[in-house]
Structure 1
């Protein structure tokens, strides 16, 4: 049973967020579920959460012999399905029940939690699950646009980019990385970026030194630029982002996020060695996504849909032309028929 928890909030700020859909993607054991929860659970604008309760993982003491993994998704069960987690930053009238004037939580902030790629033998299975969901949102919206009325891209942009959100597209995909950038991460980010604004995140920075995180930031940015991967840069060019990473300036991707639960105090001297990790940039990331850059995020999302739709239209036109084009063998067939008609008839 989903749980609903009401909090004090700033209703005006929450109203400004409108409807927004986010996704968290990455390999297994990178902390996706914890990241999603931390992103929204401490937001002062949130009125309520409607998240399914998480179930504890099986431990070594279970009869099935399942192993307990300390690095797993914050010690919760991994699922092989997409999970939508809802939060509300505003109230709305339930239009499907016109007999009441009572407002209900809008569930306007949606986080799509995805299974890790490493949780199955074939990583493409879980990735395809996510991409099929993304493609379906595009196809559903496109099916509602009348094919008998010519709609310009500018008209589509004006109708779909609103201050409260006018679509069910995923606006931002947070792609989580821990310790290193793998070739699979690069290819997945490349494919996702065609339809979603991808924002790389370096998670679990509590397990890495500040210098390690800084070096990983530079490596991620340089590699993605060299590989031609188009991430959402918050209107900052790659050269500027690399300079910021090299000099330790916050403000752009990849963002360093602390999403590791605090360990219990220990008297072991080895656990008391001073360790300086990078600054947690989660508050800055939330401010950019939910406040200062939210309109730009929505515009880029709709642009991706329009580009996809233009390619679909071009493909359909090409297929129609091929269907109506004369077949290359028809002239030869006609010549054979003419020759047969002119041949003498044998009695």
Structure 2
């Protein structure tokens, strides 16, 4: 007879919980240190041996100092990607340039993608097409590498991690091209708006211009990094108050007191690039290098690339349920609920409009029928009055004939009576 103790003995003290479950952990007390504290250091050494990648795209009109700013940002003399005679460029050109920067044993593979010719033509309708094609191409190349037999090997990451979008310091808010470009780019990459040539505005003008830009960004529902990715980025609360960043770039280094600083020299004084009272350059560099470099890469992969990959797979007929392991399930559910709610509202509005149109058509039809009936009624009344007048005339004729007949009869009777007498 099989007893419970026999069954437990056959299953063992710790039975197999199944392929998708883990057994409950058991606490153990160490009698001597094992050296677990060295694991983070070992991980740090191993990660430090490999190089890190950062791909930045610079977008903005010519003459905003983009190249000078990139030299200032990385504190290096980055060669110009294209010569200065780009004002006659008929189309927007995409020119990636690769660099290696090393600091304290950490190697950064830097790729800067410039977009000369952007916003320089009178017809700017197609300025954004080459930029979007380049971004999508990098996503597609990464997706192709994932399907390669050597998928487990390191995939070269050429995807754009951030777009520094330079805005002219006009003080009047976003231009139509800027609003359209930011709206489209923010759906594909991490966009960081930058106000160029901050030294052309006073402190009050910069504050006012930032306020106008923030209103425009909210009005056009433009997602910017890191403001729109609060759940994916930590430690940026202090930096958020400086967005959009107003920056200054300079290749000149002069001595100010006992230190060498990058600055721009004018007759009325010196504007220091790294002075927080003059520009937000320090905060932008801290965002890109110190705080959010890893977050930029992670957000690109987990948010933008997964969205692009999911759209490609869905376009090929892949069921949504299969993609739940690829995309964020919760965000997908919320997005589906929001989309269904919008579709329901749109259908209700369409049905209401259709009902209103049908009611109006029915009212117009009834109004026409009422007018026709009123016209027919008036016609019948007129005809009836005509018949009534005719009958009355005939009745008068009959009465006259009867009267004349009676008069004739009376006359004959009187004559007969007179003869008899």
TM-score bucket of the superposed structures, by smaller chain: 0.5 to 0.7
| Distance in 2 separating the partners of 1:279 and 1:82 | 32
Contact 1:205 1:277 (8 Å CA) reproduced: no
1:169 alignment partner, SS class: coil
| Distance in 2 separating the partners of 1:135 and 1:220 | 28
CA 1:229–1:120: 2 relative to 1, 3 Å: same
| Distance in 2 separating the partners of 1:139 and 1:273 | 47
2:74 alignment partner, SS class: helix
Task: Please say if 1:20 is aligned against 2:54.
Answer: yes
From the CA coordinates, give the structure whose radius of gyration is larger: 2
Contact 1:50 1:86 (8 Å CA) reproduced: no
1:118 alignment partner, SS class: coil
What are the ranges of 5 or more consecutive residues in structure 2 without an aligned counterpart?
A: 1-45, 231-236, 252-262, 320-421
1:40 Cα offset (Å): 1.6
| Distance in 2 separating the partners of 1:125 and 1:236 | 29
Cross-structure match for 1:227? 220
What are the ranges of 5 or more consecutive residues in structure 1 without an aligned counterpart?
A: 1-11, 43-48, 59-65, 68-76, 92-104, 149-155, 238-243, 320-347
Deviation digits for residues 149-185 of structure 1 (CA, Å, limit 9, x no counterpart):
xxxxxxx9xx89x9xx952111010111122421221
Cross-structure match for 1:40? 74
| Distance in 1 separating the partners of 2:306 and 2:204 | 41
Deviation digits for residues 298-340 of structure 1 (CA, Å, limit 9, x no counterpart):
1211120101111111111189xxxxxxxxxxxxxxxxxxxxx
Cross-structure match for 2:93? 81
CA 1:13–1:121: 2 relative to 1, 3 Å: farther
Contact 2:92 2:130 (8 Å CA) reproduced: no
Higher relative contact order at CA 8 Å, sep ≥6: structure 1 or structure 2?
1
Cross-structure match for 1:51? 79
The TM-score with structure 2 as length reference comes to 0.50
Cross-structure match for 1:139? 140
1:33 alignment partner, SS class: helix
Cross-structure match for 1:287? 286
CA 1:18–1:251: 2 relative to 1, 3 Å: farther
Cross-structure match for 1:73? none
Select the structure that is richer in helix. 2
The TM-score with structure 1 as length reference comes to 0.59
Cross-structure match for 2:200? 207
1:233 Cα offset (Å): 2.2
Contact 2:162 2:191 (8 Å CA) reproduced: yes
**For structure 1, which segment, 15-24 or 30-39, has the greater mean C-alpha deviation from structure 2 after superposition?**
15-24
Tell me the matched-pair count: 249
| Distance in 2 separating the partners of 1:273 and 1:264 | 5
Contact 1:172 1:297 (8 Å CA) reproduced: yes
Contact 1:206 1:258 (8 Å CA) reproduced: yes
Deviation digits for residues 28-64 of structure 1 (CA, Å, limit 9, x no counterpart):
322222222222235xxxxxx6635764669xxxxxx
Contact 1:34 1:259 (8 Å CA) reproduced: yes
| Distance in 2 separating the partners of 1:300 and 1:19 | 14
Quote the RMSD (CA, aligned, Å): 4.4
2:224 alignment partner, SS class: coil
Task: Please say if 1:119 is aligned against 2:120.
Answer: yes
